[in-house]
Amino acid sequence: MTKDQRLHREPDRRVRRSLVIALATSALLAAGALTVVGVRIEQVHLAYRLDALRSERGRAQERIRQLEIEVATLRSPSRIEARARQIGLVAPARDQIRLAKEYVAGGTGLAANRSRAVSLIAPRPPAQ
């Protein structure tokens, strides 16, 4: 053979098609595997985040329970009474108490108006 003479082969379309299909299948498998790995990594990250949020929620619930106990303690009538004595407050004497007319039955306030309205609507029982 001379230098100018070269072997010439006709490309086989079946071989080329098989090679393209194999490369495409390999690329799809690699992309699928990377997608699965990525999803698994994200799942692990989300699991850690979920654990952190659960522990944070537990701490918040415990703090709420502590605050509710503190509020109940602070609202305790005996505690309020003791604190009032500390700052010099005492229970009022009977002559120091005055009722508002709105709340006294038979007066001129709201309670009196309601009792008059009821007596006008409801018939009185016969006197014996």
What are the tens digits of pLDDT across the range 20-43? 999 999 999 999 999 999 999 999
- Tens-digit pLDDT profile for residues 72-121: 998 999 988 888 999 999 888 888 888 777 665 655 555 555 555 555 55
Give the domain range for residue 23. Answer: 13-62
Q: Is residue 40 part of a domain?
A: yes
Q: Is residue 90 part of a domain?
A: no
Q: How many domains does the chain have?
A: 1
Q: Is residue 125 part of a domain?
A: no
Q: Is residue 4 part of a domain?
A: no
User: Could you please report the per-residue DSSP string of the chain?
Assistant: --SS-----PPPHHHHHHHHHHHHHHHHHHHHHHHHHHHHHHHHHHHHHHHHHHHHHHHHHHHHHHHHHHHHHHT-HHHHHHHHHHTT--PPPGGG----GGGSTTSSSHHHHHHHHHHHHSPPPPP-
The pLDDT of residue 29 is 98
- The pTM (predicted TM-score) of the whole model is 0.47
Q: Is residue 42 part of a domain?
A: yes
Q: Is residue 43 part of a domain?
A: yes
Q: Is residue 70 part of a domain?
A: no
Which one has a higher pLDDT value, 103 or 10?
Answer: 10
